[in-house]
Structure 1
Amino acid sequence: MKTFKVLSALLTYPSDELAKAAPDFGAVLHAEDLIPAAQRPALDLLIEEIATYDVYDLQERYGLLFDRSKTLALYLFEHVHGENRDRGQAMVDLRAMYDKAGLSIGASELPDYLPLFLEFLSTRPVAEARALLSDTAHILAALAERLGRRQSVYKAVFDALVAVAEDAPQREAVDAVLQGPDVDPMDLVALDAAWEEEEVRFGPSAQGQGACSHDGLIAKLRHARRAVGPAPSHPQ
């Protein structure tokens, strides 16, 4: 589905090329009609801003949001595993799933980067993509809440992703992700403290039994989903 490619593009670093492509995004979303109508106006506003605002202003805004604050990082496992060793195993599992599906990524690319994950979903059947998206929905909903506190138009992307997911995130799982301080990106002292964490280890030394299994990946993506029973489905 090209919808996932559009949402991936909206979460990438603003550039002249992205601004030139943005006017076509709305037509793609309308044609595929995957995103509920309630989420579309906010997405249209973000698309318009990316297409028309000064690119340097867009880049500054993007950097303040996603590059300077760990609580808004676009790396999925940052919000589940932080910098502990479980994150390394989760990376191995996710990269293996990409490889199995024929998606090749560079050695320096982290597989849990959200725009990359959305690119992967764009290559899968829609039912499978929505199911996989459900396993990250608690993370996406938490990021939407944090962006809402900042009155950021980027919230629209995360709201749309949660709406498209097969299952709604459980509130307990969202709250688990939201635990801890949400550091102001302008508070440089607090930011420095937040970034001073343990070294994370990837590669063979981080691997254990069951590495590279699809089920292992799903278990790790669902790390924060502790409530008993299935999450309720979204109304369509």
Structure 2
Amino acid sequence: MQAVRTRIRPAARRPADLTPEERETRCLLLRLCSLLLQYPDDELAAARAVLDSSVRALPDSPAAAELAEFAGWFTATGPDDLRRHYVEVFDLRRKSSLYLTYYLHGDTRRRGMALLTLAQCYRATGWESGSGELPDHLPVVLEYAALTGTAAGEAPLRRHRRGLELIRRSLGAADSPYEHVLAALLSLLPPATDADLRAVAELAAAGPPAEDVGMDPFDGGVFAPPGTFVPPAPEPPTRVPAPGPAAVPSTDPTTRENLR
């Protein structure tokens, strides 16, 4: 990795004002966050030493310090333990899921539109992740930001800052080292406002929005998870009228011939 001599400036400084070297370092930070937040499969586990070296070579900054804390644990932990911990904190906990639109829209129809908008944003720049993940999966969003640049590329991250803050808090409550990766990312974004902090507290207490259209039949009952197929109610049986005189076969030869 090419040495970067300049120090990353505080997050309050606009990304548009960064020097080319600072931009390069910022993109590297986003790329490292993307990689470190992916599922630690065999390929990623085998690259831990390389990732650790890349983190240690970063110029001093709050983000680099947070990533160094995480890299120490990530490198020293066995692959099986890494995978077990990843599933526990990201797949089994709703408040630390890596799917960003969930925090803004919940499992509602608005989330589907948000996913479509994000996918269209990617295609408009000619970029496709190829990961098979939804477009709001945080490693995908980070990869897009790293490759596209600090203006439009980081817009989805800024839009979902409150969700990112909730993920960081949830990881901290679970005593997960992944909290350092979220802290590194948040240090690159504009500081949280008082309104942001209040919204995060409300989101943590009440959860994301729920679909409230057409749900009355399920009030007080057991609701199936989203996407579960519910078969339609059976149609009432067709009643066949009892045979009457009109149903008796005709004795007319022409009619019997037509019935053959």
TM-score, normalised to structure 1, is 0.69
Stretches (4+) displaced over 6 A = none
Match of 2:163 in 1: 139
The match for 1:85 is 109
Is residue 2:133 matched to residue 1:109?
A: yes
Are residues 86 and 17 of structure 1, via their aligned partners in 2, closer, same or farther at CA, if it must alter by over 3 Å?
A: same
Question: Which amino acid letter does the alignment assign opposite residue 20 of structure 1?
Answer: A
Identify the match of residue 73 of structure 1 among 92, 97, 101. Answer: 97
- Equivalent residues of 1:83, 1:198 under 8 A apart: yes
Matched, 1:159 2:194: no
Aligned-partner SS, 1:123: helix
Q: 1:124 to 1:176 in 2, by over 3 A?
A: farther
RMSD of aligned alpha carbons? 2.6
2:173 to 149, 152, 157: 149
**Which structure 1 segments of 5+ residues have no match?**
182-194, 201-236
Q: How many residues align?
A: 185
Counterpart residue identity of residue 176, structure 1: E
Name the SS of the counterpart of 1:66 in structure 2. helix
Q: Work out whether residues 3 and 28 of structure 1, in 8 Å CA contact, stay in contact via their aligned partners in 2.
A: no
Match of 2:37 in 1: 11
C-alpha separation in 2, matches of 1:85 and 1:56 = 37
Matched, 1:59 2:87: no
How far 1:29 moved relative to its partner?
4.5
Structure 1 residue 26, shift from structure 2 partner: 4.6
Query: C-alpha offsets along residues 129-160 of structure 1, whole Å, 9 cap, x if unaligned?
Result: 44442212111111111111111110011111
> Is contact 1:14–1:50 with CA below 8 Å preserved after alignment?
no
Partners of 1:49 and 1:16 lie apart in 2 by 17
Q: Which residue of 2 aligns with 1:118?
A: 142
Q: Distance in 1 between matches of 2:225 and 2:198?
A: 26
The residue aligned with 2:199 is 173
Task: Work out whether residues 91 and 111 of structure 1, in 8 Å CA contact, stay in contact via their aligned partners in 2.
Answer: yes
Deviations 1:193-217 (A, max 9, x none): xx954439xxxxxxxxxxxxxxxxx
Q: Do the aligned partners of 2:166 and 2:200 also contact (CA within 8 Å) in 1? A: yes
**Structure of higher RCO (CA pairs closer than 8 Å, 6+ residues apart):** 1
For structure 2, list consecutive stretches of 5 or more residues without a partner in the other structure.
Answer: 1-26, 208-222, 229-260
Aligned AA for 2:157?
A: L
1:142-196 Cα distance to aligned partner (Å, 9 max, x none)? 1111111111110011111111013435212322331337xxxxxxxxxxxxx95
- Please say if residues 2 and 28 of structure 1, whose CA atoms lie closer than 8 Å, have aligned partners that are also in contact: no
Q: Give the number of the structure whose residues are more often helix, by fraction.
A: 1
Q: Partner residue of 2:231?
A: none
**Post-superposition CA distance 1:17-52 (Å, at most 9, x none):** 21332333355446664xx73343442232122223
| Distance in 1 separating the partners of 2:157 and 2:206 | 24
1:94-146 C-alpha deviation (Å, 9 max, x unpaired): 00001011112459531111111111011122344444422121111111111
